[in-house]
Amino acid sequence: MKKTKSGKMLRGICLLTILLMMGSTLPPQSTVYATTLNLTIQTTKHLYDLGEEITIHGNVTMDDSPFDKGLVAIQIKDPRNNTLFVGTFATGENATDLVDIYFDVFPCDKLGNQKLILKQGEMLRLNATIINNEITSRHILLVASIQFSNNLPFQTFVLYNDTINAGQRWSCNYPLGYIPDDAPLGTARIFGSILSGLPERNGFALCLGKINTFNIESATLSATNLKINSISEPGTFNFSLITSQNGGILGNYTVYASCFYPPWLSTKQITFEVKLFKDINEDGIINMLDLYVVASHYGETPESPNWDPRTDIDKNNIVNMIDLYLVAVDYGKWGQLP
Ligand SMILES: [Ca+2]
Ligand SMILES: [Ca+2]
Protein backbone atom coordinates (compact mmCIF):
# COMPACT_ATOMS: atom_id res chain seq x y z
CA MET A 1 0.00 0.00 0.00
CA LYS A 2 2.75 2.40 1.07
CA LYS A 3 4.71 1.68 -2.10
CA THR A 4 1.70 2.39 -4.30
CA LYS A 5 1.05 5.63 -2.44
CA SER A 6 4.60 6.92 -2.87
CA GLY A 7 4.47 5.78 -6.50
CA LYS A 8 1.37 7.84 -7.01
CA MET A 9 3.04 10.77 -5.31
CA LEU A 10 6.08 10.43 -7.56
CA ARG A 11 3.93 10.35 -10.64
CA GLY A 12 2.14 13.38 -9.32
CA ILE A 13 5.38 15.29 -8.86
CA CYS A 14 6.52 14.31 -12.34
CA LEU A 15 3.23 15.50 -13.81
CA LEU A 16 3.48 18.76 -11.90
CA THR A 17 7.05 19.27 -13.17
CA ILE A 18 5.93 18.63 -16.74
CA LEU A 19 3.05 21.07 -16.33
CA LEU A 20 5.38 23.70 -14.86
CA MET A 21 7.85 23.14 -17.69
CA MET A 22 5.04 23.46 -20.20
CA GLY A 23 3.91 26.60 -18.44
CA SER A 24 7.37 28.14 -18.74
CA THR A 25 7.33 27.61 -22.49
CA LEU A 26 3.89 29.27 -22.94
CA PRO A 27 3.87 32.78 -24.41
CA PRO A 28 3.15 35.68 -22.01
CA GLN A 29 -0.45 35.82 -20.74
CA SER A 30 -1.25 39.04 -22.58
CA THR A 31 -0.77 37.24 -25.90
CA VAL A 32 -2.69 34.12 -24.95
CA TYR A 33 -5.67 36.04 -23.66
CA ALA A 34 -5.53 38.97 -26.10
CA THR A 35 -9.05 40.32 -26.41
CA THR A 36 -10.38 41.12 -29.81
CA LEU A 37 -13.36 43.28 -30.60
CA ASN A 38 -14.64 42.46 -34.05
CA LEU A 39 -17.38 44.21 -35.98
CA THR A 40 -18.96 42.75 -39.10
CA ILE A 41 -21.48 44.46 -41.34
CA GLN A 42 -23.33 43.45 -44.49
CA THR A 43 -26.38 44.17 -46.59
CA THR A 44 -28.86 41.45 -47.52
CA LYS A 45 -27.89 41.90 -51.19
CA HIS A 46 -25.32 43.86 -53.16
CA LEU A 47 -27.68 45.14 -55.85
CA TYR A 48 -31.09 46.72 -55.15
CA ASP A 49 -33.86 48.10 -57.30
CA LEU A 50 -34.75 51.75 -56.69
CA GLY A 51 -37.32 51.90 -53.90
CA GLU A 52 -36.51 48.43 -52.60
CA GLU A 53 -35.91 48.01 -48.86
CA ILE A 54 -32.22 47.72 -47.97
CA THR A 55 -31.36 46.00 -44.71
CA ILE A 56 -27.99 46.52 -43.14
CA HIS A 57 -27.09 44.08 -40.41
CA GLY A 58 -24.04 42.96 -38.53
CA ASN A 59 -22.64 41.74 -35.29
CA VAL A 60 -19.99 42.52 -32.73
CA THR A 61 -17.93 39.87 -31.00
CA MET A 62 -15.38 40.00 -28.19
CA ASP A 63 -13.04 37.01 -28.30
CA ASP A 64 -15.43 35.39 -30.80
CA SER A 65 -18.43 35.58 -28.42
CA PRO A 66 -21.46 37.82 -29.05
CA PHE A 67 -20.79 41.19 -27.44
CA ASP A 68 -23.92 42.75 -25.94
CA LYS A 69 -22.25 45.98 -24.74
CA GLY A 70 -21.46 47.36 -28.18
CA LEU A 71 -22.33 50.78 -29.51
CA VAL A 72 -22.18 50.65 -33.29
CA ALA A 73 -22.13 53.92 -35.20
CA ILE A 74 -23.36 53.70 -38.80
CA GLN A 75 -22.96 56.30 -41.52
CA ILE A 76 -24.48 55.87 -44.97
CA LYS A 77 -23.30 58.02 -47.87
CA ASP A 78 -25.09 58.29 -51.19
CA PRO A 79 -23.35 58.05 -54.60
CA ARG A 80 -22.88 61.84 -54.55
CA ASN A 81 -20.90 61.55 -51.33
CA ASN A 82 -23.60 63.18 -49.18
CA THR A 83 -24.37 61.67 -45.80
CA LEU A 84 -27.81 60.14 -45.92
CA PHE A 85 -27.99 58.72 -42.43
CA VAL A 86 -26.10 58.50 -39.15
CA GLY A 87 -27.26 56.40 -36.23
CA THR A 88 -26.04 54.61 -33.13
CA PHE A 89 -27.17 51.06 -32.48
CA ALA A 90 -26.71 49.04 -29.30
CA THR A 91 -25.83 45.36 -29.69
CA GLY A 92 -27.61 44.38 -26.49
CA GLU A 93 -29.16 45.41 -23.22
CA ASN A 94 -25.79 45.80 -21.51
CA ALA A 95 -24.64 48.61 -23.79
CA THR A 96 -24.00 51.81 -21.83
CA ASP A 97 -22.66 55.30 -22.46
CA LEU A 98 -18.86 55.41 -22.70
CA VAL A 99 -18.82 58.97 -21.39
CA ASP A 100 -21.07 60.84 -18.97
CA ILE A 101 -22.73 63.13 -21.49
CA TYR A 102 -26.48 63.73 -21.52
CA PHE A 103 -28.17 64.68 -24.76
CA ASP A 104 -31.55 64.80 -26.43
CA VAL A 105 -32.96 66.00 -29.74
CA PHE A 106 -36.62 66.34 -30.76
CA PRO A 107 -38.95 68.49 -32.91
CA CYS A 108 -40.18 71.62 -31.17
CA ASP A 109 -42.13 74.83 -31.56
CA LYS A 110 -40.58 78.32 -31.48
CA LEU A 111 -40.48 78.23 -27.67
CA GLY A 112 -38.65 74.92 -27.66
CA ASN A 113 -41.60 72.80 -26.50
CA GLN A 114 -41.68 69.29 -27.92
CA LYS A 115 -43.98 68.76 -30.91
CA LEU A 116 -45.36 65.29 -31.48
CA ILE A 117 -47.29 66.10 -34.64
CA LEU A 118 -46.10 67.94 -37.72
CA LYS A 119 -48.04 68.59 -40.89
CA GLN A 120 -46.75 68.05 -44.40
CA GLY A 121 -45.20 71.33 -45.55
CA GLU A 122 -44.64 72.57 -41.98
CA MET A 123 -41.30 73.98 -40.78
CA LEU A 124 -39.24 71.46 -38.83
CA ARG A 125 -37.44 72.89 -35.83
CA LEU A 126 -35.20 70.76 -33.65
CA ASN A 127 -34.53 71.30 -29.98
CA ALA A 128 -31.19 69.82 -29.00
CA THR A 129 -29.44 69.72 -25.64
CA ILE A 130 -26.02 68.46 -24.58
CA ILE A 131 -24.72 68.41 -20.99
CA ASN A 132 -21.14 67.32 -20.37
CA ASN A 133 -21.14 65.79 -16.88
CA GLU A 134 -17.50 64.73 -17.21
CA ILE A 135 -14.63 66.45 -15.43
CA THR A 136 -12.78 66.93 -18.70
CA SER A 137 -13.63 68.73 -21.91
CA ARG A 138 -14.14 66.69 -25.05
CA HIS A 139 -14.62 67.21 -28.76
CA ILE A 140 -17.96 65.74 -29.84
CA LEU A 141 -20.38 65.63 -32.71
CA LEU A 142 -24.16 65.66 -32.22
CA VAL A 143 -25.80 64.28 -35.34
CA ALA A 144 -29.53 63.90 -35.96
CA SER A 145 -30.95 61.82 -38.80
CA ILE A 146 -34.61 61.78 -39.67
CA GLN A 147 -36.30 58.80 -41.28
CA PHE A 148 -39.90 58.78 -42.51
CA SER A 149 -42.45 56.10 -41.58
CA ASN A 150 -41.64 54.10 -44.75
CA ASN A 151 -37.90 53.99 -43.81
CA LEU A 152 -36.95 56.66 -46.36
CA PRO A 153 -34.15 58.78 -44.87
CA PHE A 154 -35.12 62.46 -44.92
CA GLN A 155 -32.11 64.47 -43.79
CA THR A 156 -29.04 64.32 -41.58
CA PHE A 157 -27.99 67.35 -39.55
CA VAL A 158 -24.74 67.90 -37.70
CA LEU A 159 -26.06 70.03 -34.82
CA TYR A 160 -22.85 70.31 -32.81
CA ASN A 161 -19.23 69.80 -33.82
CA ASP A 162 -17.00 71.37 -31.21
CA THR A 163 -15.37 70.96 -27.85
CA ILE A 164 -17.76 70.84 -24.93
CA ASN A 165 -16.18 71.83 -21.62
CA ALA A 166 -16.51 69.97 -18.35
CA GLY A 167 -19.87 70.83 -16.81
CA GLN A 168 -20.99 72.78 -19.89
CA ARG A 169 -24.61 72.77 -21.02
CA TRP A 170 -25.45 73.58 -24.64
CA SER A 171 -28.83 73.80 -26.27
CA CYS A 172 -30.34 75.05 -29.52
CA ASN A 173 -33.69 75.54 -31.19
CA TYR A 174 -33.06 75.57 -34.93
CA PRO A 175 -35.46 75.81 -37.87
CA LEU A 176 -33.95 73.26 -40.27
CA GLY A 177 -36.27 73.13 -43.25
CA TYR A 178 -39.73 72.16 -44.38
CA ILE A 179 -41.32 68.74 -44.17
CA PRO A 180 -41.97 67.98 -47.87
CA ASP A 181 -45.58 68.27 -49.04
CA ASP A 182 -45.43 64.65 -50.17
CA ALA A 183 -43.64 63.32 -47.05
CA PRO A 184 -44.89 59.84 -46.11
CA LEU A 185 -47.53 60.05 -43.39
CA GLY A 186 -47.15 58.30 -40.07
CA THR A 187 -44.47 57.94 -37.46
CA ALA A 188 -41.14 59.50 -38.40
CA ARG A 189 -38.07 58.88 -36.26
CA ILE A 190 -35.20 61.10 -35.22
CA PHE A 191 -31.97 59.23 -34.53
CA GLY A 192 -29.68 61.26 -32.26
CA SER A 193 -26.02 60.29 -31.91
CA ILE A 194 -23.11 61.62 -29.88
CA LEU A 195 -19.93 60.64 -31.70
CA SER A 196 -16.19 61.28 -31.45
CA GLY A 197 -16.31 61.96 -35.21
CA LEU A 198 -18.01 60.59 -38.30
CA PRO A 199 -17.50 56.85 -38.89
CA GLU A 200 -16.01 57.59 -42.34
CA ARG A 201 -13.11 59.17 -40.44
CA ASN A 202 -12.94 56.38 -37.84
CA GLY A 203 -15.18 58.28 -35.43
CA PHE A 204 -17.29 56.19 -33.06
CA ALA A 205 -20.30 56.41 -30.78
CA LEU A 206 -19.70 57.74 -27.27
CA CYS A 207 -23.26 57.37 -25.97
CA LEU A 208 -26.30 55.23 -26.54
CA GLY A 209 -28.32 56.45 -29.48
CA LYS A 210 -31.57 58.27 -28.84
CA ILE A 211 -34.68 57.76 -30.95
CA ASN A 212 -37.58 60.19 -30.68
CA THR A 213 -40.67 59.92 -32.83
CA PHE A 214 -43.21 62.34 -34.23
CA ASN A 215 -46.21 61.93 -36.46
CA ILE A 216 -46.46 63.47 -39.88
CA GLU A 217 -50.06 64.23 -40.77
CA SER A 218 -51.81 65.74 -43.72
CA ALA A 219 -54.63 68.24 -43.31
CA THR A 220 -57.25 65.54 -43.78
CA LEU A 221 -55.72 62.19 -42.87
CA SER A 222 -54.47 61.07 -39.47
CA ALA A 223 -51.34 59.11 -38.62
CA THR A 224 -50.89 55.52 -39.69
CA ASN A 225 -49.13 52.58 -38.12
CA LEU A 226 -45.93 52.72 -36.12
CA LYS A 227 -42.93 50.85 -37.48
CA ILE A 228 -40.37 49.81 -34.88
CA ASN A 229 -37.16 47.93 -35.56
CA SER A 230 -37.41 44.37 -34.36
CA ILE A 231 -35.35 43.55 -31.29
CA SER A 232 -32.13 41.86 -32.29
CA GLU A 233 -30.20 38.93 -30.86
CA PRO A 234 -27.51 40.02 -28.36
CA GLY A 235 -24.38 41.06 -30.22
CA THR A 236 -26.24 42.03 -33.38
CA PHE A 237 -27.79 45.14 -34.88
CA ASN A 238 -29.83 45.95 -37.95
CA PHE A 239 -31.24 48.92 -39.78
CA SER A 240 -33.50 49.21 -42.82
CA LEU A 241 -33.89 52.02 -45.29
CA ILE A 242 -35.34 52.58 -48.73
CA THR A 243 -34.49 54.85 -51.61
CA SER A 244 -37.08 57.15 -53.12
CA GLN A 245 -38.96 55.95 -56.20
CA ASN A 246 -39.30 59.61 -57.12
CA GLY A 247 -35.78 60.84 -57.66
CA GLY A 248 -33.66 58.55 -55.52
CA ILE A 249 -30.00 58.60 -56.46
CA LEU A 250 -28.76 55.64 -58.52
CA GLY A 251 -25.28 54.22 -58.04
CA ASN A 252 -23.02 53.00 -55.28
CA TYR A 253 -23.81 53.74 -51.66
CA THR A 254 -21.21 53.35 -48.92
CA VAL A 255 -21.84 52.22 -45.35
CA TYR A 256 -19.25 53.01 -42.68
CA ALA A 257 -19.53 51.34 -39.29
CA SER A 258 -17.48 51.59 -36.15
CA CYS A 259 -17.54 50.12 -32.68
CA PHE A 260 -15.35 51.36 -29.87
CA TYR A 261 -15.07 49.61 -26.54
CA PRO A 262 -12.07 50.93 -24.65
CA PRO A 263 -9.38 50.40 -25.75
CA TRP A 264 -10.47 48.54 -28.87
CA LEU A 265 -11.79 50.09 -32.06
CA SER A 266 -13.19 48.06 -34.93
CA THR A 267 -14.25 49.69 -38.19
CA LYS A 268 -15.75 48.35 -41.41
CA GLN A 269 -16.83 49.74 -44.77
CA ILE A 270 -19.13 48.17 -47.37
CA THR A 271 -20.95 49.30 -50.49
CA PHE A 272 -24.23 48.44 -52.17
CA GLU A 273 -25.63 49.53 -55.51
CA VAL A 274 -29.06 50.92 -56.38
CA LYS A 275 -30.29 50.63 -59.97
CA LEU A 276 -33.57 51.25 -61.77
CA PHE A 277 -34.09 47.65 -62.83
CA LYS A 278 -36.75 48.10 -65.51
CA ASP A 279 -35.30 51.22 -67.07
CA ILE A 280 -34.45 49.44 -70.30
CA ASN A 281 -33.07 52.42 -72.23
CA GLU A 282 -31.19 53.65 -69.11
CA ASP A 283 -32.42 57.24 -69.19
CA GLY A 284 -33.34 57.25 -65.48
CA ILE A 285 -37.12 56.95 -65.86
CA ILE A 286 -39.55 54.12 -66.58
CA ASN A 287 -42.02 55.32 -69.19
CA MET A 288 -43.50 54.71 -72.65
CA LEU A 289 -40.04 54.40 -74.21
CA ASP A 290 -39.25 51.37 -72.05
CA LEU A 291 -42.64 49.80 -72.80
CA TYR A 292 -42.00 50.46 -76.48
CA VAL A 293 -38.63 48.65 -76.39
CA VAL A 294 -40.21 45.61 -74.73
CA ALA A 295 -43.16 45.65 -77.14
CA SER A 296 -40.82 45.84 -80.13
CA HIS A 297 -39.24 42.53 -79.05
CA TYR A 298 -42.58 40.88 -78.25
CA GLY A 299 -42.56 37.13 -78.80
CA GLU A 300 -38.79 36.86 -79.14
CA THR A 301 -36.66 34.14 -77.54
CA PRO A 302 -32.85 33.79 -77.20
CA GLU A 303 -32.89 32.14 -80.65
CA SER A 304 -34.40 35.27 -82.27
CA PRO A 305 -31.92 37.32 -84.34
CA ASN A 306 -32.65 40.58 -82.48
CA TRP A 307 -32.87 39.04 -78.99
CA ASP A 308 -32.32 41.66 -76.31
CA PRO A 309 -32.00 40.07 -72.87
CA ARG A 310 -32.89 43.38 -71.15
CA THR A 311 -36.46 43.09 -72.46
CA ASP A 312 -36.96 39.67 -70.84
CA ILE A 313 -37.65 41.13 -67.40
CA ASP A 314 -38.59 37.89 -65.65
CA LYS A 315 -35.73 35.98 -67.36
CA ASN A 316 -37.91 33.13 -68.61
CA ASN A 317 -36.44 33.30 -72.14
CA ILE A 318 -39.49 34.79 -73.85
CA VAL A 319 -40.67 38.39 -74.16
CA ASN A 320 -44.42 38.45 -73.55
CA MET A 321 -47.30 40.13 -71.67
CA ILE A 322 -45.69 39.41 -68.31
CA ASP A 323 -42.61 41.44 -69.23
CA LEU A 324 -44.79 44.31 -70.43
CA TYR A 325 -46.80 44.10 -67.23
CA LEU A 326 -43.64 44.14 -65.06
CA VAL A 327 -42.45 47.34 -66.74
CA ALA A 328 -45.93 48.89 -66.55
CA VAL A 329 -46.25 48.35 -62.77
CA ASP A 330 -43.12 50.51 -62.26
CA TYR A 331 -44.33 53.17 -64.71
CA GLY A 332 -43.26 56.63 -63.59
CA LYS A 333 -40.48 55.52 -61.23
CA TRP A 334 -37.42 57.67 -61.73
CA GLY A 335 -33.97 57.99 -60.31
CA GLN A 336 -31.14 60.48 -60.57
CA LEU A 337 -27.93 59.39 -62.19
CA PRO A 338 -24.98 59.98 -59.83
CA1 LIG B 1 -36.33 54.61 -69.48
CA1 LIG C 1 -40.15 37.05 -70.00
Q: Which ligand is nearest to the CA of 322?
A: 2
Would you place residue 223 in the very low, low, confident or very high pLDDT band (cuts 50, 70, 90)? Answer: very low
CATH 2.60.40.1930 domain span(s) along the chain: 37-275
The predicted pLDDT at position 220 comes to 58
Looking at the structure, give the CATH architecture of the domain made up of residues 288-336.
Orthogonal Bundle (1.10)
Sign of the four-CA dihedral 303, 307, 309, 312 = negative
Q: Which ligand is nearest to the CA of 332?
A: 1
Query: What mean pLDDT do residues 41-60 have?
Result: 96
What is the pairing mode between strands 37-43 and 54-62? antiparallel
- The CA 278 to ligand 1 mean position distance, Å, reads 8
What is the pairing mode between strands 47-49 and 264-275? parallel
The predicted pLDDT at position 17 comes to 41
CATH 1.10.1330.10 domain span(s) along the chain: 288-336
Query: What mean pLDDT do residues 70-78 have?
Result: 97
Q: Which ligand is nearest to the CA of 290?
A: 1
DSSP string, 98-140: SS-EEEEEEEB-TT--B-SEEETTPEEEEEEEEEE-SSS-EEE
Report d(CA 247, CA 235) in Å as an integer: 36
Sheet of 71-77, strands arranged across: 47-49, 264-275, 251-261, 71-77, 83-90
Kindly state the helix (H) or strand (E) to which residue 290 belongs, with its residue range: helix 288-296
205-220 pLDDT per residue, tens: 999 999 999 999 985 5
CATH of domain 37-275: 2.60.40.1930
Q: Which ligand is nearest to the CA of 323?
A: 2
- The CA 320 to ligand 1 mean position distance, Å, reads 19
Report the mean per-residue pLDDT for the chain: 88
> Measuring CA to CA, which residue among 91, 47, 82 is closest to residue 239?
91
Report d(CA 290, CA 208) in Å as an integer: 47
Would you place residue 231 in the very low, low, confident or very high pLDDT band (cuts 50, 70, 90)? Answer: low
The predicted pLDDT at position 225 comes to 37
Kindly state the helix (H) or strand (E) to which residue 42 belongs, with its residue range: strand 37-43
The predicted pLDDT at position 25 comes to 41
- The CA 64 to ligand 1 mean position distance, Å, reads 48
Residue 263, preceding bond cis, omega within 30 degrees? yes
Give yes or no for a contact between 50 and 237, defined as CB atoms under 8 angstroms apart. no
- The CA 248 to ligand 2 mean position distance, Å, reads 27
